[in-house]
Structure 1
Amino acid sequence: MDSATDDVNQAIAGELQLMDPHVRASRELASQLLDPQFVEVGGSGRRWTYEVMLAELPNHPGSSLSGPCFEPSDMSGVLLAPGLVHLTFETVLGERRTRHSSIWRKGDGAAGWRMYYHQATRVPPGVQ
């Protein structure tokens, strides 16, 4: 396996961890996967920052073991530059289907891969 494939696989692993209800419910675990400069534009159009996301993530859909969990599909990635990976994928959460784009960057030292940017777009019923 080459280093580009390994980098993409590590970003995918981080993305999947962020969909895990245990991780989403834990500020400590989620903070290890989000870059301190993290920004998200959610499916609602709302802009989220690192601190706001960490504070509110435990209350988001997909963060409870008793509720619906994310079902990801078609996840792929590309190495944009050394230490920078772009992922695209879809999820289903309950009745909601969403398309996602995220950028992961490799931190210094033990920081590992962290999500730097995320964009979600809800897919209306009937759209392919």
Structure 2
Amino acid sequence: MDRERGPVRAAIEGELRLMDPVVCSSRAEGVRLLDPESTEAGASGRRHTYAEMIAELPGHPGGSADGPVCEPSEITGVLLAPGRVHLTYETRFDGHRARRSSLRRKHDDRTGRRMYYHQGTPAS
């Protein structure tokens, strides 16, 4: 059981860092936290590639300390295989709710677990 908690905890910490306004607006942090092969199916219905996500980070909603921030809740995770963690949670951002799912995979000890796939689905 402890072997699962460490990777899941590390994946949750990485996910929460991506919601921090300081991190969210930094391309350098994005490069560190997103897998180079990552894709996202956003709550908007739009598909985002790694290159698009990195390019859009500085102006990304939630990337301003004085603007709205993403509020996650009920975040849970499960270790799917060595180096692979699946997270699910809900967010509230600027009056909108979304259910979210992220797959994170481990690269090496320096980079930890990076977001490989993310999907957001609007919730009512």
The TM-score with structure 1 as length reference comes to: 0.93
Letter in 1 for 2:85: V
- Give ranges in structure 2 of 5+ residues lacking alignment: none
Give the match for residue 17 of structure 2.
Answer: 17
1:65 aligns with 2:65: yes
Give the match for residue 44 of structure 1.
Answer: 44
Give the match for residue 3 of structure 2.
Answer: 3
4+ residue runs of structure 1 moved beyond 6 angstroms?
none
Structure 1 residue 57, shift from structure 2 partner: 2.1
Percent identity over the alignment is 56
Structure 1 residue 104, shift from structure 2 partner: 0.4
Give the match for residue 92 of structure 2.
Answer: 92
- Give ranges in structure 1 of 5+ residues lacking alignment: none
Residue by residue over 1:9-55, the C-alpha shift from the partner in whole angstroms, topping out at 9 and shown as x without a partner, is: 00000000000010111100111000000000001111101110010
Letter in 1 for 2:34: L
Residue by residue over 1:48-96, the C-alpha shift from the partner in whole angstroms, topping out at 9 and shown as x without a partner, is: 0111001012212111111111111000000000000000000111201
Give the match for residue 104 of structure 2.
Answer: 104
Letter in 2 for 1:78: V
What RMSD over aligned residues (CA atoms) do the two structures have, in Å? 1.0
Letter in 2 for 1:7: P
The TM-score with structure 2 as length reference comes to: 0.96
Aligned residues: 124
